[in-house]
Structure 1
Amino acid sequence: MSDFTNRAKQRLVEEFLAARRRREGRGQEASAAPARKAKATSNGLDSIPGFKQFHMQKNAAGVLDLDNPFFQVHDGRAGATSSIGGQEVLNFASYNYLGLNGHPEVNAAAIEAMERYGTSASASRLVAGERPVHAQLERAIADLHGVEDAVVMVSGHATNVTTIGHIMGQRDLILYDSWMHNSGVQGAVLAGARRIAFPHNDPQAVERLLAEQRKRYDRVLILLEGVYSMDGDLPDLAAFIDIKNRYDAILLVDEAHSLGVLGKTGRGIAEHCGIDPHDVDLWMGTLSKTLSGCGGYIASRSDFVEYLKYTAPGFVYSVGMPPPIAAAAHASIQVMLREPERVARLQARGHYFLETARAAGLDVGPSAGYSVVPVIVGNSVLAARLGHRLLERGINALPIVYPAVPEKSARLRFFLTCEHEEEQIRETVAVTAEELGALRAKGRNLREYALRMAMPEHQDS
């Protein structure tokens, strides 16, 4: 369905809905009392374009008999396995990369902090919310990245939004990878700077843009990820560092999916590539993956970190990180550094999944086989149906569909952990290949289904 325009999609959905209404209404008498109509408004909630699009997509899913794969309720800790609705499943939908969420030492640190400080910092850190555990965590993060200092914030998404939105302005240029996380893009929108998405993982494209446009702007910010969360591949960091130096730019690397994943000790892409961490201006990361908590951080020069602590709106006007979360993240760092075998096992499992999937004929895109491996199926309905079929067979892997990715790139996304066993991976790949082959053999892709449903004989049957 990649060649369908959005307008054509909408017409097709409207035809589906009209056909369903005709089928449901056939043989039924009209109600004596007409249903009350909502008051028509020109500028109310119903006028919001995204809200309209959401309803259109929801109705389309209903017409196509697609089960909702989202908001699944897990009954307990989610690791290599989990329990969903009382069913034990192999779990490939959580970021618990090193298995530290629920680790006894991590739990104990959180409990101790809760007993001493409570569950909340109860204020912005600037005025009354500072606790010793905040400084301990920030020191550990700075040391982890090999830079001078760090600041932690209560939301990973908001960390990118507030930092980028705060430091860049209308006279600036922001170049971001086309697969950059939404938080980076939203930060660029907030900044009001000129925004240009460059082709994924293409430093040459960045150089061409800067050669043409650098002189027009005061400052330039380049946004990358250490491991891209959709494709699981890595940037050519050395090439981007060279470009940013030659064109006097600022480089931010988002390590959300690479901290604890890359490098011999899990320190991230700098360790993996053997580069000086000071060559990157801003290291951004989250605490919700490897570090078993919630929130984000910026690691950089001490004077710049101090500047953010006194001026970044998302830090100054937000409550401080809950002390139990900060303590859990700090303990996770300690365990990770003490037990590098967790990192080695995660890397081995990721590579094994990648190799096994390729051997089974699955499209894993450009994934490097670390924490994230996609299985690209080509359209959103097929991805949703495949996810449902896998869950029925005890495997939890979530579909990523349009508009999160282009329609032709719809996929299931598999997150690996050091807790996955090779036997579990072999079983998962075999079942995925089997179910995908069965769905394709039945012609259940979206284009064929849509064309059949759109035919007049189907509308009137």
Structure 2
Amino acid sequence: MPAQTPSPMAINPPSPTPSMFRKKKSSSSLGPMSTAASYLSAVRAADARARARGETPLATPALSLSSSVTASSEDTILDEGEESYSDMLTYPSVPPTSEQVYTTVHSEFGHCSNDEYKYTSQHPPGKPVKPQVEQDPPYYVLFTTYISYIILIVFGHFRDFFRKYFNPGEFKHLVPHDGYAPITSDFDSFYTRRLKTRIDDCFSYPVTGVAGRTIVLLERDSKDYNITFQPTGRKVRALNISSYNYLGFAQARGGCADAVEESIKRYGVSACGTRREGGSLDLHSQAEALVANFVGQEDSLICSMGFATNSTIIPALVSKGCLVISDELNHASIRFGVRLSGANVRMFKHNDMKDLENLLKEVISQGQPKTHRPWKKILLIVEGLFSMEGTMTNLPAIMEFKKKYKFYLFIDEAHSIGALGPHGRGVADYYGVDPRSIDILMGTFTKSFGAAGGYISGSKTVIDRLRVRSHSHAYAEAMTPPVLAQVIASMASIMGVTPALPTSTSAGTITKSRMIEPEVKEAYPGRALASSLPSWMDLPPSVRDGTEGVDRLRRITFNSRYLHRGLEKLGFIVYGHDDSPIVPLLIFHPGKMAPFHRLLRQYSTPIVIVVVAYPATPLITSRVRFCVSAAHTKEDIDTVLEACDYVGEVLDLKHGEGERWPLERITSSAVELVHMERPSRD
């Protein structure tokens, strides 16, 4: 029997570790300091005392959110704008040994100095890629899931029938009136009205502040069954495991934030008034060159919107007479772009390499419909990491097919770039594949880089053509300087920056020192050249030398593997790859989605999650989608596992196969669990 956890409404006893959500009292030995220098001096003094006692904490203290339930509580941190920097910092009675620990706020980025809680994301060289085997739930779960949908649909139509007769005004917008056609049809809006509205409170919670390690919820209540919501005035700080903040760059403080602030001082918040020839800034060309260097391609172009990157680039690549082969679970932006292009499209089963090869043989032998002429172009489009399944594309097998069948390859790395690979360069880096052998690499800056927009990279010939033919490049607005600064700073943090070489030149009796750039560019995956960054961008040493970026990459991999395997050992059915920062936990039953979300939100440590259902997923595979971040600590993942263990028992969600471990064993054996070799399921 798994260990019993406390009720979500229980009040936790005071923790001996100070909570990050409490303001420090004036009597504290490390209270608010008037200057940064005095603050750091106090930190060093406390550190020296800790060393003398031989005590060395390695991580941010565990969260305790039981005090953050009301906005009026004076010991909670809710209005961060009115507090000093030292008030935002909380730490154990014995501070960590590294001064770097205090460069970011705990609520935004949890600190960890324990190297055991880090892992390198990389496919073992020489080992074949094992197919992802999805577990099926017991038949009674599938049966009750279908029955629940039938009941919802029948009772929904029953209510519509009587309400249209007794309260016709409620359906006025669904029928023709006053000479106007209805905006939406009765049939199309049925799912929204009768199914989604029941769980709208799971999607209608406003948040404020930085979506980092924690986030502040603005509570709302509904008195008309989720049709409208009214704010209650309460604010709750919750553990955030729902944002695409993979590397933890969603921070209001730190080297990247300082670079963004400096860009605003120099350029303003928009590009107006500082445009160069062609409507671009120097930042645009620097960002495009840095992106190309980062992903290992010749050239790249950037777009101000991730969705538009796919939907406007694909029509510039293929047209009528071309064929697009698409994975059945590709993103909506890919589907929309293919539809706009006018090209023929064929789909293959998700990540099924045998089905893909059979399809390739068929389309190549048969050619175009009716005429059977050869296709002008065959383009295979897959995602590096699929956002709803957490699965990773089998890139080595696809590369073998590419050599054999001679098609073009387009990889959408919106979720994999920055989050996968020992150097954070995406799925190609993860599998050790040469990126130059991939024709088009697309990605976004909204996930791993904490910015906005997207990019397309490839050969210079292809990118030059896309600059002319792509609607997003010709007609869309350019990315703003603050966003570009965030992209450049965060990408340089992952890569590291090659330092310029000091030289001396003599002119008479005067000796001048200057810095020159190394003539030889580092091979992929290498560091960024100092000249590829703006001259005014002064990044901290830990960012420039790449140590911070490597630390973030290794932390997100550990957190992802730990949560994924921990949930499996608790007995849940979990989809996706072990190294994926997206961890889908299957709920199946639509009636359990809202209770799961609400129970975690009301847990002793409130946790913000994302529940996903039809039409984003198949009808019977409703799920919770955890989004892991490098900002999370091992203790944060422990908290999520503890909450899921309790809620899973209450809602009967533990239908997974295999050996089960009690919660205490999982949390105490986290390192062993992460490094454990997974047995074959073939």
Taking structure 1 as the reference length, the TM-score comes to 0.86
Q: Deviations over 1:418-448 (max 9, x none)?
A: 121222212212212322332349xxxxxxx
Query: Does structure 1 residue 417 correspond to structure 2 residue 626?
Result: no
The 10-residue stretch of structure 1 (273-282 or 208-217) with the greater mean CA deviation from structure 2:
208-217
* 1:13 corresponds to: 156
Correspondent of 1:154 among 304, 312, 317? 304
* 1:79 corresponds to: 212
- Cα distance in 2, alignment partners of residues 164 and 126 from structure 1: 28
Matches within 5 A, 1:79-158: 79-85=212-218, 86-102=235-251, 103-122=253-272, 128-158=278-308
Q: Deviations over 1:75-119 (max 9, x none)?
A: 211112111122111111111111112252211222222222222
User: Alignment partner of 1:40: what SS?
Assistant: coil
* 1:250 corresponds to: 408
Query: Does structure 1 residue 404 correspond to structure 2 residue 553?
Result: no
* 1:438 corresponds to: 650
Q: Structure 1: which amino acid aligns with 2:298?
A: E
- Cα distance in 1, alignment partners of residues 180 and 581 from structure 2: 43
Q: 1:350 to 1:57 in 2, by over 3 A?
A: same
User: Alignment partner of 1:408: what SS?
Assistant: coil
User: Alignment partner of 2:293: what SS?
Assistant: helix
Correspondent of 1:59 among 171, 187, 194? 194
User: Alignment partner of 2:579: what SS?
Assistant: coil
Correspondent of 1:69 among 202, 205, 221? 202
- Contact persistence 1:82–1:89 (CA under 8 A): yes
Query: Does structure 1 residue 267 correspond to structure 2 residue 425?
Result: yes
Matches within 5 A, 1:258-297: 258-297=416-455
Q: Structure 2: which amino acid aligns with 1:13?
A: G
Which has the higher Rg, Structure 1 or Structure 2?
Answer: 2
- Contact persistence 2:164–2:171 (CA under 8 A): no
* 1:299 corresponds to: 457
For structure 2, list consecutive stretches of 5 or more residues without a partner in the other structure. Answer: 1-143, 219-234, 369-374, 496-545, 654-682
- Cα distance in 2, alignment partners of residues 379 and 165 from structure 1: 39
User: Alignment partner of 2:216: what SS?
Assistant: strand
Please report how far the alpha carbon of residue 74 of structure 1 lies from its aligned counterpart in structure 2 after TM superposition: 1.8
- Cα distance in 2, alignment partners of residues 124 and 199 from structure 1: 49
- Contact persistence 2:245–2:448 (CA under 8 A): yes
- Contact persistence 2:565–2:578 (CA under 8 A): no
Q: 1:7 to 1:46 in 2, by over 3 A?
A: farther
- Contact persistence 2:576–2:582 (CA under 8 A): no
Q: 1:48 to 1:16 in 2, by over 3 A?
A: closer
Q: 1:126 to 1:134 in 2, by over 3 A?
A: same
Please report how far the alpha carbon of residue 19 of structure 1 lies from its aligned counterpart in structure 2 after TM superposition: 6.8
User: Alignment partner of 1:100: what SS?
Assistant: coil
- Cα distance in 2, alignment partners of residues 318 and 427 from structure 1: 44
- Cα distance in 2, alignment partners of residues 266 and 71 from structure 1: 33
Please report how far the alpha carbon of residue 207 of structure 1 lies from its aligned counterpart in structure 2 after TM superposition: 1.2
Correspondent of 2:376 among 210, 218, 239? 218
* 1:185 corresponds to: 335
Correspondent of 1:40 among 172, 176, 200? 176
Q: Structure 1: which amino acid aligns with 2:176?
A: A
Please report how far the alpha carbon of residue 256 of structure 1 lies from its aligned counterpart in structure 2 after TM superposition: 1.1
Correspondent of 1:359 among 533, 557, 569? 569
* 1:454 corresponds to: none
Q: Structure 1: which amino acid aligns with 2:244?
A: Y
- Cα distance in 2, alignment partners of residues 388 and 21 from structure 1: 32
The 10-residue stretch of structure 1 (287-296 or 35-44) with the greater mean CA deviation from structure 2:
35-44
- Contact persistence 2:467–2:474 (CA under 8 A): yes
User: Alignment partner of 2:182: what SS?
Assistant: helix
* 2:540 corresponds to: none
Q: Structure 2: which amino acid aligns with 1:73?
A: P
* 1:330 corresponds to: 488
Please report how far the alpha carbon of residue 170 of structure 1 lies from its aligned counterpart in structure 2 after TM superposition: 2.1
Q: Structure 2: which amino acid aligns with 1:40?
A: P
Q: 1:37 to 1:203 in 2, by over 3 A?
A: closer
- Cα distance in 1, alignment partners of residues 412 and 196 from structure 2: 33
- Contact persistence 1:158–1:314 (CA under 8 A): yes
Please report how far the alpha carbon of residue 12 of structure 1 lies from its aligned counterpart in structure 2 after TM superposition: 4.2
- Cα distance in 1, alignment partners of residues 211 and 469 from structure 2: 37
For structure 1, list consecutive stretches of 5 or more residues without a partner in the other structure. Answer: 442-461
Q: 1:207 to 1:341 in 2, by over 3 A?
A: same
- Cα distance in 2, alignment partners of residues 123 and 181 from structure 1: 37
Q: Structure 1: which amino acid aligns with 2:456?
A: I
* 2:8 corresponds to: none
User: Alignment partner of 1:53: what SS?
Assistant: coil
* RMSD (CA atoms): 2.9
Please report how far the alpha carbon of residue 246 of structure 1 lies from its aligned counterpart in structure 2 after TM superposition: 2.2
Q: Deviations over 1:268-292 (max 9, x none)?
A: 1111101111111100000111111
* 1:164 corresponds to: 314
- Contact persistence 1:399–1:412 (CA under 8 A): yes
Query: Does structure 1 residue 232 correspond to structure 2 residue 381?
Result: no
The 10-residue stretch of structure 1 (169-178 or 138-147) with the greater mean CA deviation from structure 2:
169-178
- Cα distance in 2, alignment partners of residues 395 and 300 from structure 1: 40
Please report how far the alpha carbon of residue 60 of structure 1 lies from its aligned counterpart in structure 2 after TM superposition: 3.1
- Cα distance in 2, alignment partners of residues 228 and 318 from structure 1: 27
Q: Structure 1: which amino acid aligns with 2:428?
A: A
Q: Structure 1: which amino acid aligns with 2:236?
A: Q
- Contact persistence 1:122–1:129 (CA under 8 A): no
Q: 1:255 to 1:47 in 2, by over 3 A?
A: same
Q: Deviations over 1:116-175 (max 9, x none)?
A: 222223499897520011111111111111110110001011100101122111212111
Taking structure 2 as the reference length, the TM-score comes to 0.59
- Contact persistence 1:377–1:383 (CA under 8 A): yes
- Contact persistence 1:220–1:250 (CA under 8 A): yes
